[in-house]
Structure 1
Amino acid sequence: MEKTSANIKKFVVISLITLGTLTVLTACGSKESKKSEQSSFSSSINNKSSQSSSSSNSSSTSSSSSTQEGFGDVPQILSGNYSSLNGTWQTADGSTKIILNNGNIIFSPDYERIISNPVAKDGIVIGDALNDKRHMGFMFAAAHNSPIFPNSSNVDKTDSGKDRLIITTDEEGIEIFDTMPTAFFYKVSNDITL
């Protein structure tokens, strides 16, 4: 419990810095470029989803390593409908668990964050995770999608075969997919109870 509390505090501090940076960067972008980026990102996601669906339909076996139920619907998420993310999410090592319920990120009965302002950026969905006007960041990458890194030395070390998300601090950019892969959450069930 102390480890989880320390991790949450660390994420809060780092998220505050990252969110400030994300807010400034988001404000600097034009609405048209955001619409264009969201549209092309949504098309890319839809194409990959249909390819993934057709390949999974042709195979009668499923991977035993994937316990994920359902997939995040990026166009819905970008429109503010977070229901496709509903369920229980946990880190790969099982040490930390969160519940997502219609945009509420529930860490415990006393600690929640609310997803807001999602945009498609660098191949992933980036948004805010708010609580009492305190900002943190939210990043979501759909299965089979990885962020586009500005630095070619960064690589996605998360399990890109699954939907994954992370709550970040303001100083953490998309490089977190390379630098902190164990901090990512993966959907393990559709259950929304603690």
Structure 2
Amino acid sequence: MERKFVKIKKYVTVSVIFLGVLATLTACSSGSKESKKTEHTSSSQSTKSKESLPSSSSQSSSISTSSSSDISSSSTSQYEAANSSQILTGNYSSLNGTWQTTDGSGKAVLKNGTIIFSSEYQRVISGPQSKNGIIIADAVNLGKHMGFMFAAANSSPTFANSSQTDKTDRTKDRFAITSDDEGLEIFDTNPMSFFYKISNDTTSPNS
């Protein structure tokens, strides 16, 4: 009887120890799985975060390119537009600069109302007035009068004859010196005679 009790006691002790070891192993295994799961989740989030970086970088590059494009676009207009209101009051400073015909055959410098074709030949703008959508004035040289016609950018004269059109480059300021027999039709019949600003330089040509 005593031997049986001892055997039972040993069996219970062994069983308790076995169950304890099993519980410990289970806990360790579960903890290991949780740890691996956490590491996998953290690694996955890190990978996703890295994957999103190129997109952010791309957006930054796109913004930079857009800004550069805007800057390029805003500097397209090389020269300040002439001030028609000032011209009509006798202030011609907004016309100052070097002007040239489209084919390069004619060049003149405008400097405070004086049209300088060469050091020997000049004309002075006098009596400007607004007429038919443009500015008309005298171009005087030694008492001899010719006409001065100026059209600001994006404006054209109003023709009496509906068949006439403005064949000059109306996107730019332009002027022409006209003879007595030339009127507004010069915009249609002789567009190559108009001068356009090519620089702000007021150094006299051929000086």
TM-score (norm 1): 0.67
In the alignment, which residue of structure 1 is the partner of 2:113?
A: 103
Structure 2: give runs of 5+ residues left out of the alignment: 1-69
Q: Assess, with a 3 A threshold, how the Cα gap between structure 1 residues 191 and 180 changes in structure 2: closer, same or farther.
A: same
- Aligned counterparts of 1:67 and 1:98: Cα–Cα separation in 2: 21
Preserved contact between residue 68 and residue 162 of structure 1 (Cα < 8 Å): no
Give a deviation string over 1:43-88, Cα, whole Å, max 9, x none: xxxxxxxxxxxxxxxx544499x77522110000000000000000
1:173 counterpart letter in structure 2: G
Letter in 2 for 1:77: I
Structure 2 residue 155 is the aligned partner of structure 1 residue 155? no
Mapping 1:26-45, distance limit 5 Å? none
1:92-121 deviations in Å (ceiling 9; x for gaps): 111110000000000000000000000000
Identity value in percent: 61
1:177 is displaced (CA, Å) by: 0.2
Residue in structure 1 matched with residue 139 of structure 2 by the alignment: 129
Q: Comparing both structures, which one devotes a greater share of its residues to helix? A: 2
Following TM superposition, where does structure 1 have runs of at least 4 consecutive aligned residues deviating by more than 2 angstroms? 59-64
| Residue matched to 1:76 | 86
Are residues 1:179 and 2:194 paired? no
* Bigger CA radius of gyration: 2
**Larger RCO of the pair (alpha carbons < 8 Å, separation 6+):** 1
Cα displacement (A) at 1:127: 0.2
Give, as a single letter, the amino acid of the residue that structure 2 aligns with 1:99: V
* Equivalent position amino acid for 1:108 in 2: S
Q: Which residue of 2 aligns with 1:146?
A: 156
What residue ranges of structure 1 are gaps of 5+ in the alignment?
1-58
How far apart, in 1, do the equivalents of 2:120 and 2:94 lie?
Answer: 24
